[in-house]
Chains A and B, each alone.
Chain A
Amino acid sequence: MNKSQADVRVDAGLVSRRIFFDPEVYQEELARIFAKCWLFLGHESQIPNAGDYIAGYMGEDPVVTWRGEDGKVRVFLNSCRHRGMKVCRTDCGNAKRMQCSFHGWTYSTNGDLVGVPSLREGYRNELDRAQWGLLRAPKVASYGGLVFASWDEGAGSLDDYLGDLRWYVDVLIERQLGGLEFLPGQQRYALKANWKIAGENFAGDTYHLGHSHASLFKLDVRQINPINPLAYGKGLLYNNVSFANGHGLTGLVTGGERFELDLKLAAELGPEVVEYVRECRHRLETRLSPRQAALHALAFGNVFPNFSLNDFSALRPIGIYLWHPRGPGALESWQWCAIDAQAPQVIKDICRIDFPRTQAVAGIAAQDDTENFEQVTEATRGVIGRQLDFNYQMNLGNDAAATKEGYPGKFAPYVSETNQLGFYRRWAQLMGDGAQRPRT
């Protein structure tokens, strides 16, 4: 074929399969997307005290998110500046210093190199320690306790990055009476799949729900769990919304029905829970606009590039998902369960049990996604397959009325691929000429 053609052709609803396979594209993604965008790292409730830390990744770069003795949260490359050894080898904990296990260089919570063995006899006291502190991500910000960082000195603010998405996620953040709290621990599992397949799925793939997850709809869900999302919303009018920076939300209900459903389900759980749902609503009404308050919850979405969430109800767990890239054909899923710190105990217990059962490593939804994501990735590898395109033409051109009065973002029908195209439009903008290579 040998002609140069954009890998992403939004107007035609086509995305080249090459970008799910090509090792060079992948390396460009690490440089142009994961080293530039604001990336999610964790929640402040995981590191409440001075010295608390959690280990994580930004792309393939290991990082430590560490609360300093001054209370400030900083993000460092988890790699000794001497010979690169990881200075932090645990997933979480508390430390006033981190000492490299290789040669003993030691760092303080603000990243300063405060200890060097043999400084006098080895370096004749001439090592400029100020130059050899831990590499610090220049941009760190938190929103509703969610901590993000960027390696790009020139990145705009996190607020600007989230853009109009924030108007919606504010609903999730502000609904929590006591703020978000992450349950201790996280789930991690490996998939032999390209990271974008997971990200775009959360950004807007409503089409897969009925087929990929057909088995869930055959179960008598009300017997399994009175507040299962599948018991929700028959006949509701759902909306998909996409945003300039590649973010997507799906399953939004604007008419207040999610609140009404929560009230109905709460009634089965007792007056304390009904009161709780009303308090959540009241809080939203006093802090946000009436339209935002009427949303009550979001459903699911993706913050570009690789941070997904779901939030169906004030009575269900909030799922927090990261899709760490691990090569063109591999990713790691890291996921947490978040709850309202002041939710009634009965709701906390339901959330703790419900999260692992559904969209989680052994959940009855995620298993089937793994199967599909892996086999998609596998089938793009061959020299014939990777010359083809993926088809995102559903409802293409039928979204002329793409705005909704009083609501930010681009609206699309519930069954459409507009959000996914928004994801790839942003991907292509960031990749620039990295996505314009001649096709083989």
Chain B
Amino acid sequence: MTVNADLQHEVEQFLYSEVQLLSERRYREWLDLLAEDIRYWMPVRETRDGDGNGIAGPEGLAIFDDDKTFLAARVERFYSDVAHAEQPPSRVRYFVSNVVLRARGDGALDVGCNLLVYQARLEKTESFFVGRREDVLRRNAAGGWLIAQRKVVLDQVLLPRSISLFF
């Protein structure tokens, strides 16, 4: 696969349409974009000496470490009407930028992007989540895209609130 302006445009449009589904709470449609074998992973981070990076490894603590089955359970929970954290739903706005594509040997794409998520809830609860996503995208049978892997690393050590969203 050759990374060119057309592919860059296509992938960016895919990412925009994906977060549009999330902000409109069309979660079941969103699940259709995820590969059956996805690892949806958000490791914790802490401030360490040296590079200050401090991202937990695969054996460390995570914020999300979900397979598709559990993501689907989260979705059903949100639609249950008694998931108080999102009942009534928050207003959520996603900003995707700095999209970088790299072709992989297996025909898939590594896609990195910056992510800014704004959550407004009830009367005055507001939270910002800021970080970077590293996805692996591959073509589905219909010629569209599937999210095969997703790693999200937030920049915050102390998160502004508990999380009742997807990233």
Contacts and interface: CB of A to CB of B under 8 A. Distances in A.
A91 B63 contact: no
Contacts of B131: none
Interface in B77-121: 77, 80, 82-86
A189 interface: yes
Contact residues on B (Cβ < 8 Å of other chain), bracket: 35 or more
Contacts of B61: 183-187, 336-337, 352, 355-356
Contacts of B48: 90-93
Contact of A368 (B43, B46, B49, B84): B84
B54 interface: yes
Interface of B: 42-49, 52, 54, 56-57, 59-66, 69-70, 73-74, 76-77, 80, 82-86, 122, 125, 157-164
B47 A366 contact: no
Interface of A is mostly: mixed
B86 to A, nearest CB: 8
25 contacts: A90-B49, A91-B54, A95-B49, A184-B61, A185-B46, A187-B63, A215-B77, A215-B80, A220-B73, A332-B158, A336-B61, A355-B61, A356-B63, A357-B66, A357-B70, A361-B159, A362-B42, A362-B63, A362-B64, A364-B83, A367-B83, A367-B85, A368-B83, A369-B162, A371-B85
A71 B85 CA distance: 45
Interface of A: 89-95, 183-192, 212, 214-216, 218-220, 223-225, 332-333, 336-337, 352-353, 355-357, 360-362, 364, 366-372, 374-375
Residue in B42, B44, B63, B76 whose Cβ sees the most chain A Cβ within 10 Å: B44
B63 A184 contact: no
Given A187-B63, A212-B84, 14 more contacts: A184-B59, A189-B160, A189-B162, A215-B77, A215-B83, A220-B73, A225-B70, A333-B162, A336-B61, A355-B61, A356-B62, A364-B83, A368-B84, A370-B85
B78 to A, nearest CB: 8
Nearest to A357: B70
Given A93-B49, A215-B83, A367-B85, A362 B163 contact: yes
Given A212-B84, A336-B61, A191 B44 contact: no
